[in-house]
Amino acid sequence: MNAFGLRFPFQISERGVAAASARTALIHEQLEQLLFTRPRERVNRPEFGCGVQRLVFAGADAGTAAAAEYVIRTSIRRHLAELIDLDAVRVSVIDSEIHIDILYTLADSGEELAASFTQPLETAP
């Protein structure tokens, strides 16, 4: 597998070419894309994404957080299984932000990594 890939979000480097990310950063960026993309948001990949910012609202209970964890686990295993082995997912809501902690192991090297994401919650429509 390549040690580098296109950076997310897409950027132009100082040399005037598409910026690249190292392998571990690339996987972190792919997790971020998966978490915060809403299903049906991508035209050519309508099943891609979790849309977690819409799953949980301020004042959510443990059951809602558990449902968000399930959606995240399912999406990661569906879309990133060839890259990572998922070890754990934890979702919590603090004030008006969702906090997501993911523990995973790189499939090709066995390196164990952790990723944390924080996102403001959307209000119900």
Q: How far is CA 34 from CA 12, 17, 28, 61, 97, in A?
A: 22, 25, 10, 23, 18
Query: How do the domains of the chain map onto residue ranges?
Result: 4-120
pLDDT tens profile 7-37: 666 778 788 877 777 778 888 988 999 998 8
Write out the CATH class of domain 4-120: alpha beta
Residue-wise pLDDT for 38-87, tens only, equals: 888 888 888 999 877 676 554 566 777 788 899 999 999 999 999 999 99
What span, in angstroms and rounded, lies between the C-alpha atoms of 32 and 8? 9
Match 């960026």 to its residue by tokens: 29
pLDDT given for residue 58 in this prediction? 45
